[in-house]
Chain A
């Protein structure tokens, strides 16, 4: 699956393209708690979250993630988008809620990436 595929599946608006919309992604992580995201490093490349602040981008950056999806139609402000642009991270906004957004991606082949959620 590519970042472009995620945008299509989630009917998401692309707010920032990042380094490449054709970047291949295999795993994702959905959480509003950034410390939980940081606790499980398994090459997850997509972060789905309902939290909107600059630390979401920082967390994705530290984890080498390539795409952030804001759920429930949330939109980050320009400062957050600018940070994502600098770091080459794609930013999407989907109208779906967290559960549905994760479910749609899982159904289309994206996995959790941790041992416990094979």
Chain B
């Protein structure tokens, strides 16, 4: 694998049943490229948590993924309400998710902490009323 691969996904904001399709597709692509199962799983989980967040909080958005021989870089951008206090949002168990989201199995305040746990680099850029962008990188080597 020598070339850079770029993937782009539109994440619909109103369809919970389809959340995870992009992450599933990326997982398949990385598997085919022959990346190690550990790396594939780290990318899949980090991206999946982010994708779920985009649907339950962000009203959908766009995900771009760049695969190079050194790393998988993900950029998840939504146009949702934004995060008022990022350090608070990074704490395990802290959540603004409404009850109906918890009933779906998410919204336990583990999304961002899990994304940080499974990525090797992570940056959250957010502006209230404008949206949130999460950049994550998982090293391949």
Interface residues of A (CB under 8 A from B): 32-36, 38-39, 41, 49, 51, 53-56, 58-59, 61-64, 79
**Which chain B residue has the least Cβ–Cβ distance from A80?**
B17
Chain B interface main SS type? helix
Q: List 13 A-B contacts (CB under 8 A).
A: A33-B105, A33-B108, A35-B105, A35-B107, A35-B114, A38-B110, A54-B17, A55-B19, A55-B106, A56-B105, A58-B24, A61-B24, A63-B41
| Among B45, B52, B108, B113, contact of A41 (Cβ-Cβ < 8 Å) | B45
Binary contact readout B34-59 vs A (1 if CB under 8 angstroms, 0 otherwise): 00010001001100110010000000
Q: Is the CB of B108 within 8 A of A55?
A: no
Shortest Cβ distance from A34 into B: residue: B105
Contact A53 B110 (CB under 8 A): no
Q: When chains A and B are docked, how far (Å) is the Cα of A53 from the Cα of B49? A: 16
On whether the beta carbons of B117 and A39 are closer than 8 Å, the reply is yes
CB distance from A99 to the nearest CB of B (A): 19
Asked if B114 and A32 make an inter-chain contact with CB atoms under 8 angstroms apart, the answer reads no
A43 to chain B, nearest CB (A): 10
- Residues of B at the A interface (CB closer than 8 Å) are 16-17, 19-20, 23-24, 27, 37, 41, 44-45, 48-49, 52, 102, 104-111, 113-114, 117-118
Using A55-B20, A62-B48 as known contacts, list a sample of 8 further A-B pairs with CB atoms less than 8 Å apart, ordered by residue number in A.
Answer: A32-B105, A36-B108, A36-B110, A39-B110, A55-B16, A55-B19, A55-B106, A61-B44
In the bound complex, what is the Cα–Cα distance between A61 and B110 (angstroms)?
A: 18
User: Once bound together, how far apart are the Cα atoms of A101 and B23, in whole Å?
Assistant: 30
Q: Is the CB of A55 within 8 A of B27?
A: no
Given known contacts A33-B105, A51-B105, A64 and B37 CB-to-CB distance under 8 angstroms: yes
